[in-house]
Amino acid sequence: MTQIASQLSIVLSRLKEVVGDRYVVDRTEDLLVYEYDGSIDRHLPAAVVIPGSAQEIARCVAICSEAGVPIVPRGSGTGLSGGAVPTEGTIQVVTSRLRKILEVDTENRVAIVEPGVINADLSAAIEHLGLHYVPDPSSQRACSIGGNVAENAGGPHCLAYGVTTNHVLGMEVVLANGEMIWLGGEQRETPGYDLRGAFIGSEGTLGIATKIAVRLIPIPEAIRTVAAVFNSMDMASKTVSDIIGAGVIPAALEMMDRVTIDAVEPTYHPGYPAEAKAVLIIEVDGLRETVEEQSEQIEAICRQNRVASYEASDDAARRAELWAARKGAIGAFGNLRPNYYLVDGVVPRTKLQEVLAKVAEIGAEFDLTIANVFHAGDGNLHPSILFDERIPGETEKVIEAGGRILKLCVEVGGALSGEHGIGLEKQAYMPLVFNEDDMRSMGRLAPAFGATGHFNPSKVFPADNGDGPAFSKARRSGTHDVV
C-alpha cells in the first residue's frame, strides 16, 4: 500500500467513527454518482462522507484538515459550473442529510434551515402561514439552499426581488480547522464587516454552511402570469426592453426561443404555434390595483410589438401550467440531444437583440444547435449548446463555441456569470474581466478564512499547472446525459 493510500485509509477510518460506516463511500462503483454535477465536467472523488449534523461536519472537516486532505462541499449536485465536481485527491462532504427546517419566526419573517433543505420544500412548508422564500432557481425542486448560498443562485423572480444574497441574513459556518462560527445573524443588519456577503457566492472555497437564516416574504395579494408568443425574436427582445423602459419591473420576465419550444413541446405540450419564434413568460405580483395597472401596460406593449398570441391568468393551476415549460426547459433538451453545455453569460438588456443574433452566428459557424432560454429582464442569457458527447471531437467544439459566447458577453459590457458561478467551467475566462491585481486581491480572501487550498481547490481562479485551467481530458472522461 502506498503512503497516500495508507493515509487515506486512516482518514476514512476516522471519518467512519464520526458518521458510521454507512455514510462513508469509497468503492469506485458507488463513487460514480458523485463524479459530476449539472455541468459536463467530471472526476471521481477519493471518497465521500455524508455527515448527519453540523457537529459531524465540523469533526469531519477537522479530521481532513489535520491530514492535509482537501474537501469539496456538495449539496444536491445540481450546479451548472462544475463547482461540486471533485478534483484529484479530494474528499466530498455532502450535506444532503441536513434537511431540517429548524425554526420559523413568523413575527420577524425569518426561518433557520439546514443546508440540505430543498429550495421548493421551504416555501411549501410555510405556505399555510402566508409566507414564502423568494429565490427560485429552475432546479428548485431538487437544489438545496446550502448550494444556493454557495453559488448565490438566482431564478426567474430575481428581477424584482434579488438573488440569494438579498434573502440570506446569516449562516453558521464550519471553517477549515473545524471551528464553527456565525457570519451575519438573524436580524436585517449586523455590525462590522459583511463577512456574510463575502461567503455567499464563494462557491464552497471558504467553508461549509451548516445553518442558514433566510428572509421570508408575504405571499403577494395578487399574481398574474402572462404567456406572450412572438413570430420574431427581435420583437420579443424589443418587448423586453420596452417593458423595463416603461418603468414596469415585473416579478419575472423570461424568454424561450424556437429551439427551446421544440424541446418542451413533446414533454409539456404548451401548444405554441408552429410559426412562433419566441415566447415571453411574464409575471407581475403585489396589490391587486398594481397588478391590474402593470398588466394593462404590459399587454399594450406586447400588442404594439405585434404579439401573435397573448394569455394572462390569475388562476394558480393555470399559472403553474404556463410556467411548466420554462421551468422544465433544461431537462427537456434531452428530447433534442443527449447532452447540453449551458453558458451563463450576462449582457445589458439593450444588447439582447445584437447578442442573440451573434450567438446564432456562432452556432452556425460551429454547426451546433444552440437553444436560448433565459432571464430576459436582467440580461442573464443561458445559451444552451446541444450536442452528443459520444461523437469524437464534439465536446471540444462545444467548449470552444461556449468560450466565444462568453467573450461576446464581456465585449458588449456584460459578465461571465449571472447565477451559476465560475467553478471549473469559466475559470479560464476570468482574465477577460479581472486583471492580475484583481485576482491577487480576491485570492487573499480564502487565507483570511484559513481555507488556503483546503476547501474546493482548483476552482474559480485559473490554474497555472500544465493541465490547463478547465476541462482537462481527465475531467471530461465519461458521459453526462440530460435525461
Give mean pLDDT, residues 174-202. Answer: 93
Count CA atoms closer than 13 A to 341's CA, side-chain side: 27
- Cβ contacts of 473 within 8 Å, gap of 6 or more: none
- Render pLDDT for 77-92 as a digit per residue (tens, 0 to 9): 999 999 999 999 999 9
CA distance 465 to 308: 53
Count CA atoms closer than 13 A to 96's CA, side-chain side: 14
Q: Scanning the structure block, which residue is given the C-alpha cell 427560485?
A: 136
Confidence label for 477 from pLDDT (cuts 50, 70 and 90): very low
- Render pLDDT for 127-166 as a digit per residue (tens, 0 to 9): 999 999 999 999 999 999 999 999 999 999 999 999 999 9
CATH number belonging to the domain at 101-218, selected among 3.30.465.10, 1.10.287.1120, 3.40.50.720, 3.30.1330.60: 3.30.465.10
Confidence label for 3 from pLDDT (cuts 50, 70 and 90): low
- Cβ contacts of 23 within 8 Å, gap of 6 or more: 49, 50, 51, 52, 97
Confidence label for 190 from pLDDT (cuts 50, 70 and 90): confident
CATH number of 222-332: 3.30.70.2190
Q: What is the pLDDT of residue 465?
A: 39
User: What is the percent of the chain where pLDDT is above 70?
Assistant: 95
CATH number of 338-448: 3.30.70.2740
Q: Spell out the domain ranges in the chain.
A: 3-94, 101-218, 222-332, 338-448
CA distance 186 to 215: 9
CATH number belonging to the domain at 3-94, selected among 3.40.50.970, 3.40.50.920, 3.30.43.10, 3.40.50.300: 3.30.43.10
- Render pLDDT for 414-458 as a digit per residue (tens, 0 to 9): 999 999 999 999 999 999 999 999 999 999 999 999 998 899 999
Domains 101-218 and 222-332 share a fold: no
- Render pLDDT for 211-229 as a digit per residue (tens, 0 to 9): 999 999 999 999 999 999 9
Q: Which residue has the higher pLDDT, 108 or 189?
A: 108
pTM of the model: 0.92
